[in-house]
């Protein structure tokens, strides 16, 4: 099942993708798709619906994030060995964790703001793991039972803010619109192996990232278990599992970064596509969930 949300920013309605690839309206059955609707019980009930009989969502309606109410985005740094190498860093012995604020979240086709004073805004396609039930200090064997599904995250990063302005990474990771999520939440039963998915990203039509989640250094179950030792994972939380090589910081012969007017396209096998246009901080846009 591919869950989604649609409509104006701040007024999204729940939906689901039909077998014909068209969006269907769930708003007569659900008030929203959020933490309460991501429970195994609710997802099992939704799976029984004949979604193709639901009303169509007008094609003109905006795609929002596929679920709301995210409390935190837990990001994993340097989780692909070849990405660590392009950054000139060793693969860490344990997962590197940092947080992205929920205020960074935007829809999969919303504009991305280049922050005021930015010179090094960068792209990062990542597999997002969406939590469906509370996970607190769980084992790897238990971990996947707490996963509602999977989605695409573009972990936008401002490298100067992140690496050259002292302190933690968060200041380069948390700007508004730095976490496009969606277009769908694909429930876990539809993804046979989340660690065997191709993923790619293009900037202005040039493919810069092209890899597979087979290259993850720390797998999904290991990450859910590990993170749950240090913080409680709650329904609606997202784990952004790391990016493969090909980010702007690692481009050869020298790094290059996003600028106003650039367009990103990105996708993960089975999880759909995203597209974003880069705009100046003063430009109008629809940034939030």
**Range name among 25-29, 49-53, 97-101, 283-287 with the lowest pLDDT average:** 283-287
Give the angle subtended at the CA of 261 by the CAs of 162 and 98, to the nearest 5°: 20
Residue 136 to residue 29: CA distance in whole angstroms? 31
Residue 178 to residue 229: CA distance in whole angstroms? 26
Residue ranges per domain, the chain? 69-280
Chain centroid to Cα 221, Å, comes to 17
Can you tell me the mean pLDDT for 81-96?
84
Q: Does pLDDT of 193 surpass 70? A: yes
Structure tokens at 34: 């959020």
Residue 12 to residue 68: CA distance in whole angstroms? 9
Cβ atoms of 4 and 23 within 8 Å: the answer is: yes
Measured from the Cβ of residue 285, the count of other Cβ atoms closer than 10 Å reads 18
Share of the chain above pLDDT 90, in %: 90
Kindly report, residue by residue over 199-209, the tens digit of the pLDDT.
999 999 999 99
For residue 44, give Cα distances in angstroms to 47, 130, 182, 188, 238. Answer: 5, 16, 21, 11, 20
Domain spanning 69-280 has what CATH number? 3.90.850.10
Kindly report, residue by residue over 145-188, the tens digit of the pLDDT.
999 999 999 999 999 999 998 877 889 999 999 999 999 999 99
Chain centroid to Cα 259, Å, comes to 21
pTM for this model (two decimals): 0.95
Q: Does pLDDT of 283 surpass 80? A: no
Region of 205 please: left (phi>0), alpha (psi -120 to 50) or beta: left
In sequence order, what are the residues at sequence separation of 6 or more whose Cβ sits closer than 8 angstroms to the Cβ of residue 267? 152, 199, 200, 273, 274
Q: Return the CA Rg of the chain.
A: 18
Torsion of CA 44, 268, 138, 141, to 10 degrees: 80
Look at residue 41 and give its three-state secondary structure. helix
Can you tell me the mean pLDDT for 75-103?
89
Output b/e per residue, 213-243; b: 16+ Cβ within 10 A: bebbbbbbbebbbbbbeeeebbbbbbbbbbb
- What is the rounded average pLDDT for all residues in the chain? 95
Q: Tell me, what's the pLDDT at 218? A: 97
Q: Does pLDDT of 81 surpass 90? A: no
Measured from the Cβ of residue 43, the count of other Cβ atoms closer than 10 Å reads 19
């Amino acid at each position: 099942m591919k869950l989604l949300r649609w409509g104006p920013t701040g007024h999204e309605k729940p939906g689901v993708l039909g077998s014909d690839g068209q969006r269907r309206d769930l708003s007569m059955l659900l008030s929203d798709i959020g933490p309460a609707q991501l429970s195994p019980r609710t997802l099992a009930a939704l799976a029984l619906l004949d979604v193709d009989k639901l009303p169509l969502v007008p094609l003109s309606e905006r795609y929002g994030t596929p679920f709301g109410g995210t409390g935190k985005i837990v990001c994993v740094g340097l989780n692909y060995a070849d990405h660590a190498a392009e950054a000139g860093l060793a693969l860490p012995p344990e997962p590197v964790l940092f947080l992205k604020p929920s205020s960074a979240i935007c829809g999969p086709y919303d504009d991305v703001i280049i922050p005021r004073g930015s010179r090094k805004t960068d792209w990062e396609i990542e597999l997002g793991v969406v939590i469906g039930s509370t996970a607190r200090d769980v084992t790897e064997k238990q971990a996947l039972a707490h996963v509602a599904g999977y989605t695409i995250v573009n972990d936008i990063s401002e490298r100067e803010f992140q690496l050259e302005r002292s302190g933690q990474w968060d200041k380069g990771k948390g700007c508004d619109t730095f976490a496009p999520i969606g277009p769908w939440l694909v429930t876990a039963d539809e993804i046979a192996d989340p660690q065997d998915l191709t993923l790619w990203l293009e900037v202005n039509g040039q493919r810069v990232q092209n890899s597979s989640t087979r290259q993850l250094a720390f797998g999904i179950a290991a990450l859910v278990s590990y993170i749950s030792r240090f913080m409680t994972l709650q329904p609606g939380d997202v784990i952004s599992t790391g990016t493969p090589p090909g980010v702007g910081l690692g481009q050869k012969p020298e790094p290059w970064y996003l600028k106003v007017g650039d367009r990103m396209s990105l996708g993960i096998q089975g999880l759909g596509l995203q597209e974003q246009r880069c705009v100046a901080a003063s430009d109008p846009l629809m940034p939030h969930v």
